[in-house]
A and B are shown apart, each in its own frame.
Chain A
Amino acid sequence: MKLTLKVWRQKNSNSEGKLVAYDLDGISPDSSFLEMLDILNETLIERGEEPVAFDHDCREGICGMCSLVINGIPHGHERQTTVCQLHMRHFKDGQTVTIEPWRSKPLPVIKDLIVDRTALEKIQQAGGFVSISTGGVPDANATPIPKQVADVAMDAAACIGCGACVAACKNASAMLFMSAKVSQLNRLPQGKVEKDRRVLAMVKTHDELGFGNCTNFGECQAVCPKGITLDHIAKLNRDYAVASFKNIFGGVK
């Protein structure tokens, strides 16, 4: 396969970036998108140029490290797929492919296609945990959880925290990411105890970090590699209303 790549090159967070075009030939349709970038980097190194910096880790679609906006769509145009699981057979021979980093104020570009996702960690740290001593492995079914509840919590827990929702959102909101954490923990008995405190703290942190507001576009759900739905945002909205109401009357410590 022959491709023309337009790759975002940016030296560091303080410098201006720009799209640089590279022609690439002899790419196997069976190689993954990241393998294609590896080949690009090898040719760049051979030519004595700086390779393109991009995030990747497991290359199995479960770690949430890869973070490329391909032709305007985070993780590319294949549904529920991370970039590492996206294969070149989904592109046309001779196609021009534009590759950009996640773009939002709270997730600044560190270099080329790598962004600093500390802001997502900060949201998680604000309330995405359960404050109980875990101890040893509890007996199975010691805490009964209805199957339906466990299923929905598991769906939410599928979030790998890649930040594609932020990248896709027209408002650069991290609402889908945050709602996955809130929905997962607030539904289960272990996390329910802190549900009001959690949702208030996480929304507060989300807003302070400079993420945008959710206006119900649904772009986040469309690009989420793990298929997190707007359902979880509805759950967050519901829980936030209840928590704020309690908070106004002094019920949340």
Chain B
Amino acid sequence: MKSIVRLVTSSVGKKYLMALSGFILSGFVLGHMCGNLQVFLPPHWINSYAHHLQSMPYGLLWVVRAVMLSAVAIHAATAIVLFKENKAARPEAYRKDATVRASKASRTMIVSGLIILFFIIFHIFHYTVKNMYGLDQLMINDLGHGPLEHPVPNVYAVMYMGFSVWYVALFYIVAVFMLCQHLSHGVASIFQSLGLRNEIWRYRLEKLALAYGWIVFLGFASIPVAVLLDFYLGVPIFDKSTFIEVYEQAKNCAGAIQ
């Protein structure tokens, strides 16, 4: 037990915690993005996908949720400890400070990280608990195979209506940009922290991490951008037939404000 405590409290051990939790989180982010991009397909795609996730057997949904939440908790808590220790290691700052190589993203991990943490909390209330903006009212009776016994959440409509609030959409875009920055350093760091790279792979992995960050950004940001284009500028991207009444109501409200 003592040796385990010694491991996780050591400077290198904390890197492992960051790397392993970061590995889980960055993998999840890519899967989550692929799932979300189904919103560009006909509504029953994402609705049945969401329904299948929600009704996984053996309580698997909660297993996944528990793993994800622990990863977030470990990642955030370790980051705060590291930040404090690192500040304490240099009590007196350089009067003239310079940076030779370290990227802006790598030096602002704590800032991007805290914004992402705040975003995750908001995001869970916004789209998982759905107790904001009346999104919990949006249900559907048909996943494309005829009527269902019980109505299920109309995730397609939830996403659309959620992003039709412009400042929410804007916050999402900012948050996923922060995620892009965070990943561009973090993904490469995973390999360094676990000692799984050499001088040749270092530069390859840094490019890979940058690409990873931007793919995740473009994938996620495309959805609020598309909704904003559809809702405010009338670009026909989404099929609003399953929630046409809610849509028109919102459209009238937005029109009245304008």
* Contact (A105, B193) CB under 8 Å given A213-B82, A222-B101: no
User: A210 to B195, Cβ gap below 8 A?
Assistant: no
> What number of A residues sit within 8 Å (CB to CB) of B?
51
16 new A-B contacts, CB < 8 A, other than A216-B192, A248-B7, are: A72-B99, A100-B96, A104-B90, A105-B91, A171-B86, A171-B89, A172-B89, A211-B11, A212-B86, A213-B11, A213-B85, A214-B12, A219-B99, A222-B100, A231-B202, A240-B13
Which residues does chain A contribute within 8 Å of B85, judged by CB atoms?
A: 171, 212-213
8 contacts between A and B (CB under 8 A): A73-B100, A170-B90, A172-B90, A215-B106, A215-B109, A234-B192, A236-B195, A239-B195
Considering the complex, give the chain B residue whose CB is closest to the CB of A200.
B6
Quote the shortest CB–CB distance from A222 to chain B (angstroms): 4
User: A203 to B10, Cβ gap below 8 A?
Assistant: yes
User: B89 to A104, Cβ gap below 8 A?
Assistant: yes
User: A69 to B94, Cβ gap below 8 A?
Assistant: yes
- Which of A103, A175, A210, A237 lies in contact with B94, CB distance below 8 A? A103
B-facing residues in A63-109 (Cβ within 8 Å):
69, 71-73, 98, 100, 103-106
For the complex, is B3 an interface residue (Cβ under 8 Å from A)?
Answer: yes
Quote the shortest CB–CB distance from A158 to chain B (angstroms): 15
For the complex, is B93 an interface residue (Cβ under 8 Å from A)?
Answer: yes
For the complex, is A181 an interface residue (Cβ under 8 Å from B)?
Answer: no
For the complex, is A241 an interface residue (Cβ under 8 Å from B)?
Answer: yes
For the complex, is A204 an interface residue (Cβ under 8 Å from B)?
Answer: yes
User: B98 to A73, Cβ gap below 8 A?
Assistant: yes
User: A213 to B15, Cβ gap below 8 A?
Assistant: yes
User: B12 to A216, Cβ gap below 8 A?
Assistant: no
What secondary structure prevails in chain B residues at the interface with A?
helix
B-facing residues in A195-253 (Cβ within 8 Å):
203-204, 206-207, 210-219, 221-223, 229-231, 233-241, 244, 247-248
User: B4 to A248, Cβ gap below 8 A?
Assistant: yes
Residues of A in contact with B (beta carbons under 8 Å apart): 6, 8, 19, 69, 71-73, 98, 100, 103-106, 168, 170-173, 175, 203-204, 206-207, 210-219, 221-223, 229-231, 233-241, 244, 247-248
User: A215 to B86, Cβ gap below 8 A?
Assistant: yes
Considering the complex, give the chain A residue whose CB is closest to the CB of B14.
A213
User: A237 to B102, Cβ gap below 8 A?
Assistant: no
Which residues does chain A contribute within 8 Å of B12, judged by CB atoms?
A: 203, 214, 236-237, 240-241
Quote the shortest CB–CB distance from B3 to chain A (angstroms): 5
Quote the shortest CB–CB distance from A53 to chain B (angstroms): 17
For the complex, is B95 an interface residue (Cβ under 8 Å from A)?
Answer: yes
Mask of B33-51 contacts with A, CB within 8 angstroms, 1/0: 0000000000000000000
For the complex, is B240 an interface residue (Cβ under 8 Å from A)?
Answer: no
Which residues does chain B contribute within 8 Å of A244, judged by CB atoms?
A: 3, 6-7, 10, 13
Which residues does chain A contribute within 8 Å of B88, judged by CB atoms?
A: 105, 210, 212
* Contact (A234, B195) CB under 8 Å given A72-B96, A215-B109, A219-B101: yes
B15, B96, B197, B202, most chain A CB atoms within 10 A: B96
For the complex, is B107 an interface residue (Cβ under 8 Å from A)?
Answer: yes
Which residues does chain B contribute within 8 Å of A230, judged by CB atoms?
A: 192, 199, 202
For the complex, is B54 an interface residue (Cβ under 8 Å from A)?
Answer: no
Query: Could you tell me the distance between the alpha carbons of A124 and B82 in the complex, rounded to whole angstroms?
Result: 24
User: A170 to B101, Cβ gap below 8 A?
Assistant: no
User: A170 to B100, Cβ gap below 8 A?
Assistant: no
For the complex, is B189 an interface residue (Cβ under 8 Å from A)?
Answer: yes
* Contact (A234, B196) CB under 8 Å given A204-B10, A244-B3: yes
Quote the shortest CB–CB distance from A214 to chain B (angstroms): 7
Query: Could you tell me the distance between the alpha carbons of A215 and B198 in the complex, rounded to whole angstroms?
Result: 17
Considering the complex, give the chain A residue whose CB is closest to the CB of B18.
A215
User: A237 to B101, Cβ gap below 8 A?
Assistant: no
Which residues does chain B contribute within 8 Å of A206, judged by CB atoms?
A: 11
Which residues does chain A contribute within 8 Å of B14, judged by CB atoms?
A: 213
* Contact (A98, B95) CB under 8 Å given A234-B198, A244-B13: yes
Which residues does chain B contribute within 8 Å of A211, judged by CB atoms?
A: 11, 89
Which residues does chain A contribute within 8 Å of B97, judged by CB atoms?
A: 72
User: A210 to B3, Cβ gap below 8 A?
Assistant: no
Quote the shortest CB–CB distance from B141 to chain A (angstroms): 51
User: B194 to A238, Cβ gap below 8 A?
Assistant: yes
Which residues does chain A contribute within 8 Å of B11, judged by CB atoms?
A: 173, 175, 203, 206-207, 211-214
For the complex, is B182 an interface residue (Cβ under 8 Å from A)?
Answer: no
Which residues does chain A contribute within 8 Å of B245, judged by CB atoms?
A: none
User: A219 to B100, Cβ gap below 8 A?
Assistant: yes
Which residues does chain A contribute within 8 Å of B102, judged by CB atoms?
A: 170, 217-219
